[in-house]
A and B are shown apart, each in its own frame.
Chain A
């Protein structure tokens, strides 16, 4: 017998038992609990002086801090079976409630529960699991006053990945950008690797600055680099962790064909003299980072 067949068989057995025995609420519907609930929820409706808010229905029959499920509780029984089959984690997915009437202060409700449906195994983002649906009915005496369809996913947690999680782009260290450097980052957003070129003498310069150290001009322009160069030096970073990066990773100082050097992460086996080309990676709308990859034509 496969797990699937066994689980389905057990589910059918529990469903056939129908409604569990009525379980009486600890206290009758009462004003102090109503007031506490309204306060916590932030409901300022003034009308709940003689009747309870309908959405409180589950509150009346909660088990309390030390509550235990009754032996004939179908959800508890089904959880146990799934636990034993390795579906050890649980997450609630749906809860639909129907209210037939207001509950009045002093009324004492009880609840019954039955197993409606068990479906699976399904592959989910959390892991493989079974959807278990129960139906609960609240009574005052013999009168059904509210109902709830409640669904949980009982799943086997996905194996922990050996590799570390993908670093969040949001964690990456962002550059400071000012009026002297904005042209560079704007270039990256447009898939252009820009090198500052003096508007006076034509000196190429990276990192850039507002005044040319050669001729003193303060009219920097830029040229768009071919984005090709060779590795001048490099580091393989192991420790400590760097925000936004997954260790080990390579940072290369690249001498561009135009003659300036520039740092960037290198995706590939590093060596001094390795021909590389620029790659642009969009982090978000504001930031695109340049990095290097080995050239295919090397």
Chain B
């Protein structure tokens, strides 16, 4: 694609920001534009995704962005993170806009907490087959998949725990991470309380107050801007057969994420690279079990083999597939995948705190269990 991410910006990541969600959005967008060497008057497109309270026009007002020719909002919450970049890249390629900013900002810990039972969500007719039965939190919905996955492949709670340990290890050396200097052991994971068996507390990501923004423009224009561009090699969305939001329980196989399989096919096809060409993987980690399933869907290992792949040390910073060098959402912050895209950009630039050597390609995925999306970012 002829598009690149040329600016990234974020607020601090906290549990109580002390300011409005709109202020967080405005601060993040402002920081991303400064990073890109652009001004609000250069912006003519804004993209966010559902479950964000900041309207595009409100963000434009705060920043003093005079005119917008493209604004879009992608569905399915965290599954839309990488799709915001796809929207921006398509807008840039088609000429719908020249500079598009993707943003996400919320007080998800001090304000509306996504980990609680969203009683209002039961008004959705699809949710009427789960919420009234008592299945009303994201953790519990993922746990239903995880239990079947364990049954089919002999995976254990410890296999899930290893993902949390890696994320927290990487977060421990990232000063921007909420869990900076706070690594955990597998014993800590095993000792953490049940949230929704088979998920423990440390299988579940944190809740964060904060904002992240990304600036997308054409590769041509990127050449004239100060930062090394992170080229959008491929960006795609994915929805699978008989798709539901978090509760696709009625398909043949509960051990898979077919929507991520759709994303994987699209990414490899359009970027021209394959799993072995990926230097860094930023995989969406709101709950540990789905990181294992993603490794399988994306083709890094065979079905049911993720537990062995993880145990082999492949996901360490010096392994074959360094995972979430920023600490992921379990370790750094839960900005619904947007902080992971920012990390992908830093890895391509060579400016990450836990920098992997000679990064050519970074794979980034978005929320799992829902219709999702993914990105391949490239250095050239």
Residue A249 at the chain B interface, CB threshold 8 Å: yes
Q: State the Cβ distance, A166 to closest chain B Cβ, in Å.
A: 15
Interface residue B20 (Cβ < 8 Å from any Cβ of A): no
Q: A257 to B373: give the CA distance in the assembly, Å.
A: 36
Residue of A nearest to B195 (CB): A239
Pairwise interchain contact A242-B136, C-beta atoms closer than 8 A: yes
Partner of A173, one of B119, B148, B195, B197: B119
Name the one of A178, A242, A248, A289 contacting B125, with C-beta atoms under 8 angstroms: A178
CB distance from B142 to the nearest CB of A (A): 9
- Chain A residues, CB < 8 A from B126: 207
Given contacts A174-B122, A180-B125, A238-B193, contact A253 B144 (CB under 8 A): yes
- Known A-B contacts A249-B134, A263-B133; the reply to A235 vs B196 at CB < 8 A is yes
Q: Which residues of A contact B125 (CB under 8 A)?
A: 176, 178, 180-181
Residues of chain A from 163 to 189 with CB closer than 8 A to chain B in the complex: 172-178, 180-181
Minimum CB distance partner of B117 in chain A: A242
A251-B135 in contact given A175-B128, A176-B128 (Cβ < 8 Å): yes
- Bound complex: CA of A240 vs CA of B122, how far in Å? 17
**Using Cβ atoms and an 8 Å threshold, which residues of chain B touch A249?**
134
Q: Secondary structure of the A side of the interface?
A: loop
CB-based contact B135/A260 at 8 Å? no
Contact of B151 among A175, A206, A233, A264 (CB under 8 A): A233
A237 to B242, CA, bound (A): 25
Point out residues on B near A: beta carbons under 8 Å.
Answer: 115-117, 119, 122-137, 140, 143-145, 147-148, 151, 193-197, 242, 247, 249-250, 254
State which of B128, B131, B250 has its C-beta within 8 Å of the C-beta of A206. B250
Give the docked Cα–Cα distance between A241 and B136 (Å).
10
Inter-chain contact A272/B129, CB cutoff 8 Å: no
- A17-44 residues with Cβ-Cβ distance < 8 A to B are none
Chain A nearest Cβ from B287, distance in angstroms: 12
Partner of A233, one of B122, B131, B148, B193: B148
Of A207, A213, A240, A243, the residue contacting B129 (CB under 8 A) is A207
Is there contact, CB below 8 Å, between B119 and A234? no
CB–CB B115/A175 < 8 A: no
- Chain A neighbourhood of B247, CB < 8 A: 263
A110 within 8 A of B: no
Given A235-B197, A289-B132, is A240 in contact with B116 using a C-beta cutoff of 8 Å?
yes
Interface string of A247-284 (1 = CB under 8 A from B): 01101010000001111110000001000000000000
Closest B-chain residue to A205, C-beta based?
B250
A175 close to B144 (CB less than 8 A): no
Do residues B134 and A181 form an inter-chain contact, with CB atoms below 8 A? Answer: no
Q: Would you call B249 and A261 a contact (CB within 8 A)?
A: yes
How far is it, in angstroms, between the C-alpha of A35 and the C-alpha of B136 when the chains are bound? 55
- Separation of A176 and B194 alpha carbons in the complex (Å): 30
Q: Which residues of A contact B140 (CB under 8 A)?
A: 235, 237, 251
User: Is A221 an interface residue, CB under 8 A from the partner?
Assistant: no
> Which residues of the partner chain B approach A236 to less than 8 Å between Cβ atoms?
194, 196-197
* A70 CB to nearest B CB, Å: 54
B144 touches A233 (CB 8 A): yes
Chain A residues near B133: list those with CB within 8 A.
251, 263-265, 289, 291
Residue of B nearest to A206 (CB): B250
Known: A176-B124, A245-B134, A260-B250. A235 touches B117 (CB 8 A): no
Name the one of A173, A232, A262 contacting B117, with C-beta atoms under 8 angstroms.
A173
Please state if A235 and B193 are interface contacts (CB–CB under 8 Å).
Answer: no
Which chain B residue lies CB-closest to A263? B133
- Which of A206, A241, A251 gathers the greatest number of chain B CB atoms within 10 Å? A251
A217 → B minimal CB distance (Å): 18
The distance from the CB of A112 to the nearest CB of chain B, in whole angstroms, is 57
Quick check: B196 and A272 within 8 Å, CB to CB?
no
How distant is the Cα of A232 from the Cα of B136 in the complex, in angstroms?
19
A243 to B116, CA, bound (A): 11
Which residues of chain A have C-beta atoms less than 8 A from B131's C-beta? 173, 175
A-side interface size class: 35 or more
Select one of A174, A180, A253, A265 contacting B134, CB under 8 A: A265
Closest B residue, CB atoms, query A240: B116
Does the CB pair A272–B148 fall under 8 Å? yes
List of A residues within 8 angstroms of B148 by Cβ? 232-233, 272
- Cross-chain contact B132 with A174 (CB below 8 angstroms): yes
A selection of 30 A-B contacts at a CB cut-off of 8 Å is A172-B132, A173-B122, A173-B132, A175-B129, A176-B124, A176-B127, A176-B128, A178-B125, A181-B125, A181-B128, A207-B129, A235-B135, A235-B196, A236-B194, A238-B195, A239-B195, A240-B115, A240-B116, A240-B117, A240-B137, A243-B117, A249-B134, A251-B133, A253-B254, A260-B250, A261-B249, A262-B129, A264-B133, A265-B134, A289-B132
Choose among B124, B133, B197 the residue with the greatest number of A CB atoms under 10 Å from its CB.
B133
Q: Are B254 and A242 in contact (CB under 8 A)?
A: no
| CB atoms of A263 and B249 under 8 A apart | yes
B298 to chain A, nearest CB (A): 23
**For the complex, what is the distance from the CA of A239 to the CA of B199, rounded to whole Å?**
11
**CB closest residue in chain B, given A253:** B249
Tell me whether A237 and B128 are in contact (CB under 8 A).
Answer: no
Give me 20 other A-B pairs in contact (C-beta within 8 A), A235-B147, A241-B117, A248-B197 excluded.
Answer: A172-B132, A173-B117, A176-B123, A177-B128, A207-B129, A232-B254, A233-B144, A233-B148, A233-B151, A234-B144, A236-B196, A237-B140, A240-B117, A245-B134, A249-B134, A260-B250, A261-B250, A265-B134, A289-B132, A291-B133
In the complex, which of the residues B119, B123, B124, B151 contacts A272, with contact meaning CB atoms closer than 8 Å? B151
A269 vs chain B, min Cβ distance (A): 12
Q: Are A238 and B196 in contact (CB under 8 A)?
A: yes
Q: How far is B313's CA from A212's CA once the two chains are assembled, in angstroms? A: 47
Chain A residue numbers with a CB within 8 Å of B128 are 175-177, 181
- Which of A176, A181, A249 has the most chain B CB atoms closer than 10 A to its own CB? A176
Residues on B with C-beta less than 8 A from A172 are: 132
Of all chain A residues, which has the CB nearest B118? A173
Contact for B122 among A176, A237, A253, CB less than 8 A: A176
Nearest A residue to B242 via CB reads A213
